[in-house]
């Protein structure tokens, strides 16, 4: 898809986030995927600060567990944390340069292990505060162009809008509640990946892909579907899956 | 970010595992949040929310009213897993909590702030703050309350532990934030036919008894290198109850 067209699609999806029936995780996952295409990076992740100021992963462009772990290792260290704390973008961070990566040994090891060589981090800004960061990971050397950097910050701002749903921006209480709900939903999703992986005897990554495909095909909201699975109110046999069922 | 006074309450909760610890934390938490009442209620299977610690009579009677009537902001927070803040109960739609709102005069509660105690789909109760006047929470008070609710969640999850000799294991490691632990929890819950809350405890107990980091163990479970066995002390599936 040409860039302009893709960008229009992103705008439409952000606008959709302002209507009532909206799933923040679903939106952000798609959004992260778009970021990788628009900016030609290998992976993108959206991280939110929790009440203690630790960064938590909310959504990633792909849900491979190893990638999620790299993001998780950033709760305390890494370029995204620096960006979150300073409120400034950290761009073109070269992970192959030991001088640069000195402060983040754990993060660097994990990121290098899956082939990332360059990281860029942009703040999710809300008025004078910073609520999280957008992390962009490259496997190829090469810098984002000036234009890309502007676009990346604009995308980070759009993610903020999606997360907070503009109409409620007036109340701080509501902001924090929504951030909290988004983080809780993220944990539910991980728990459900495990449940499905075991029921179907597939990997957690596969379980997620099947679940998401089902939610999309049936116009169901991912978070609600996940919650219904944990409470046992949704029969997961309704979801077609290819792997053989375990003999019971 | 967390205020200094709430940080003290959190440290206290971490160190004190006595029976009265939660009562003391509720009282200190109420002072830190500048509220007239702070209450902790746990989700019980049949009866809804049951108050287990209240900092004042106001908090107690508000919790009791919700418990008796089966409705209210705390009930909503526990059921939906979302924070429920009501700045002025007298402005609330009468049909939102028809029974409770009728009792308001006697309860002397004007604003209420309810925070679910949960870890993903594991929902164990709710922390509620009440004030006599119409009011809002500042961002710092929101963060303080969320942190206190999280600390109480950790504490109650630990005390639900049915495997003995883990009294020193009250605190969850920081790594509990890792996706793989939640995935492993889901897998163990299916393997051992346990609720998620108990599956997590099983996971944790195994980590402690083998002396391995819980994250490593969770990786092994997710990659199917390790499978926990339903040991002799396995209990029938049940929802979290207070100790």
Q: What is the pLDDT of residues B19-74, one digit of tens each?
A: 788 999 999 999 999 999 999 999 876 667 888 999 999 999 999 999 888 899 99
Residues of B in contact with A186 (CB under 8 A): 120
User: Distance (Å, rounded) from C-alpha B177 to C-alpha A222?
Assistant: 21
**B238 has pLDDT over 70:** no
CB contact under 8 A, A173 and B182: no
To probe the interface with B, which of A75, A173, A246 has the most B CB atoms within 10 Å?
A173
Query: Is B150 part of the contact surface with chain A (CB cutoff 8 Å)?
Result: yes
Task: For domain B4-159, give the CATH number.
Answer: 3.30.450.40
pLDDT for the residue numbered B191: 94
Give A180's contacts in chain B (Cβ within 8 Å).
82-83, 146
> CB distance A194–B189 less than 8 Å?
yes
How far away is chain A from the Cα of B54, in angstroms, using its nearest Cα?
23
Query: Residue B161: its pLDDT value, please?
Result: 52
Q: Is A219 left (phi over 0), alpha (psi -120 to 50) or beta?
A: left
Q: Is B98 touching A (CB cutoff 8 A)?
A: no
Q: Chain B: residue nearest A56 by CA?
A: B177
* CA distances in angstroms from B16 to A231, B9, B10, listed in the order given: 33, 10, 10
Residues A136, A138: Cα–Cα separation, whole Å: 7
Structure tokens at B117: 């105690």
| Pairwise CA distance, residues A209 & B239, whole Å | 30
Task: For chain A, state the CA radius of gyration.
Answer: 18
Domain A3-169 has CATH 3.30.450.40: yes
How far is it between the farthest Cα atoms of chain A? 58
Give domain limits for chain B: 4-159, 163-243
Question: SS3 helix, strand, coil % of chain B, rounded to 5?
Answer: 50, 15, 35
Contacts of A227 in chain B (CB under 8 A): 81, 121
For residue A188, the chain B residues in CB contact (below 8 A) are: 120-121
pLDDT digits (tens, 9 = 90+) for A163-189: 876 444 445 677 777 778 888 888 999
Q: Which tokens go with A173?
A: 């209480």
Cite the beta strand spans of chain B per DSSP E. Answer: 37-44, 48-54, 84-86, 111-119, 122-131
Distance from CA of A3 to the nearest CA of B (A): 33
Residues 6+ positions from B20 with CB-CB distance below 8 Å: none
A72-98 confidence digits (pLDDT tens): 777 678 999 999 999 999 999 999 999
Q: Do B222 and A172 touch (CB under 8 A)?
A: no
Is pLDDT at A215 greater than 70 in this prediction? yes
Answer whether A231 sits within 8 Å of B121, measured CB to CB: yes
Among the partner-chain residues B83, B120, B182, the one whose CB lies closest to the CB of A180 is B83
Mutation pick from B119, B186, B192, B199 vs chain A, by most beta carbons of A within 10 Å, is: B186
| Distances A155 to A48, A91, A158, A160, A228 between C-alpha atoms, Å | 15, 15, 5, 9, 32
Residue A82's CB: how many other CB atoms inside 10 A?
17
List of residues 6+ apart from B8 with CB closer than 8 A:
B28, B32
The β-bridge partners of A44 are A136
Residue B215 has a pLDDT of: 84
Q: Is any Cβ of chain A less than 8 angstroms from the Cβ of B239?
A: no
- The model's pLDDT over A97-147, given as tens digits with 9 standing for 90+, comes to 999 999 998 889 989 998 999 999 999 998 888 999 999 999 998 889 999
> Of B138, B174, B179, which is closest to A190 when you measure between CB atoms?
B179
What's residue B17's pLDDT?
75
Sheet containing B111-119: which strands, arranged edge to edge? Answer: B48-54, B37-44, B122-131, B111-119, B84-86
CA nearest B191 in A: which residue? A198
**Higher-pLDDT residue of B87, B230:** B87
B76 dihedral zone (left: phi>0; alpha: psi -120 to 50; beta): alpha
Measured distance CA(A59)–CA(A140) in Å, rounded = 22
CATH of domain A185-238: 1.10.10
Cβ distance B138 to A172 less than 8 Å, yes or no, reads yes
* Domain segments of chain A as ranges: 3-169, 185-238
Q: Which residue from B minimizes the CA distance to A226?
A: B121
Q: Does B105 touch chain A (CB under 8 A)?
A: no
What pLDDT is stored for residue B175 in this prediction?
42
| Euclidean distance between CA atoms B235 and B216, whole angstroms | 26
- A76: CB partners within 8 A, 6+ apart: A54, B174
pLDDT at B159 > cutoff 80: no
A231 CB neighbours in chain B (<8 A) are: 121
Yes or no: say if A243 and A209 are a contact pair by the CB < 8 Å rule: no
- Is residue B61 within 8 Å of residue A153, measured between CB atoms? no
Say whether A24 sits in a helix, a strand or coil.
Answer: helix
CB nearest A173 (choices: B85, B120, B147): B85
Residue B130: closest CA among B78, B40, B56, B59? B59
Q: How far apart are the first and last CA of chain B?
A: 31
Angle in degrees, CA A132, B117, A171, rounded to 5? 50
Residue B170 banded pLDDT, cuts 50, 70, 90: very low
Say which of A51, A65, A197 has its CB closest to residue B143.
Answer: A51
Percent of chain A with pLDDT over 70: 90
**pLDDT tens digit string along A40-75?**
999 999 998 888 888 888 899 988 877 887 877 776
Cβ separation A52–B138 shorter than 8 A: no
Nearest CA of chain B to the CA of A41: how many Å?
Answer: 23
> CA of B64, closest CA in chain A: separation in Å?
25
């Amino acid at each position: 898809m040409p860039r302009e067209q893709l960008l229009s699609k992103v705008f439409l999806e952000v606008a959709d986030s302002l209507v009532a029936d909206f799933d923040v995780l679903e939106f952000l996952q798609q959004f992260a995927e778009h970021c990788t295409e628009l900016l030609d990076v290998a992976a993108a992740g959206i991280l939110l600060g929790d009440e203690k100021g630790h960064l938590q992963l909310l959504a990633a462009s792909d849900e491979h567990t190893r990638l999620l772990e790299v993001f998780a290792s950033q709760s305390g260290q890494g370029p995204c944390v620096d960006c979150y704390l300073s409120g400034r973008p950290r761009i073109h961070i070269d992970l192959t340069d030991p001088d640069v990566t000195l402060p983040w040994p754990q993060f660097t090891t994990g990121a290098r292990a899956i082939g990332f060589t360059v990281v860029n981090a942009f703040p999710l800004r809300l008025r004078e505060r910073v609520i999280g960061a957008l992390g962009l990971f490259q496997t190829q050397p090469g810098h984002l162009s000036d234009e890309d950097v502007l676009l990346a910050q604009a995308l980070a701002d759009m993610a903020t809008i999606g997360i907070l749903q503009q109409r409620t921006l007036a109340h701080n209480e509501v902001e924090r509640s929504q951030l909290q709900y988004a983080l809780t939903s993220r944990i539910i999703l991980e728990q459900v990946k495990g449940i499905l992986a075991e029921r179907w005897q597939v990997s957690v990554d596969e379980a997620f892909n099947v679940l998401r495909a089902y939610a999309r095909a049936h116009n169901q909201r991912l978070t609600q579907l996940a919650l219904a699975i944990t409470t046992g109110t949704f029969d997961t046999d309704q979801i077609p899956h290819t792997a053989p069922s375990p003999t019971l | 970010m967390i205020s200094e006074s709430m940080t003290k309450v959190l440290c206290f909760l971490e160190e004190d595992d006595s029976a009265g610890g939660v009562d003391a934390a509720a009282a200190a938490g109420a002072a830190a949040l500048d509220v007239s009442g702070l209450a902790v209620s746990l989700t019980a299977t049949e009866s809804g929310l049951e108050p287990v610690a209240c900092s004042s009579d106001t908090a107690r009677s508000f919790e009791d009213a919700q418990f008796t009537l089966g409705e209210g902001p705390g009930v909503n927070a526990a059921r939906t897993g979302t924070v429920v803040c009501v700045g002025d109960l007298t402005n609330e739609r009468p049909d939102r909590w028809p029974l409770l709102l009728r009792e308001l005069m006697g309860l002397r509660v004007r604003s209420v702030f309810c925070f679910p105690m949960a870890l993903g789909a594991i929902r164990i109760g709710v922390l509620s703050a009440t004030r006599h006047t119409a009011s809002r929470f500042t961002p710092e008070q929101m963060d303080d309350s969320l942190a206190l609710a999280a600390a109480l969640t950790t504490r109650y999850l630990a005390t639900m532990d049915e495997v003995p000799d883990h009294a020193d294991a009250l605190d969850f490691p920081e790594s509990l934030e890792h996706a793989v632990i939640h995935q492993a929890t889901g897998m163990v819950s299916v393997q051992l036919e346990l609720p998620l809350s108990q599956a997590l405890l099983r996971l944790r107990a195994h980590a402690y008894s083998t002396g391995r980091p819980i994250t490593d163990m969770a990786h092994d479970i997710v990659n199917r290198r390790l499978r926990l066995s339903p040991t002799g002390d396995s209990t029938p599936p049940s929802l979290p109850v207070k100790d």
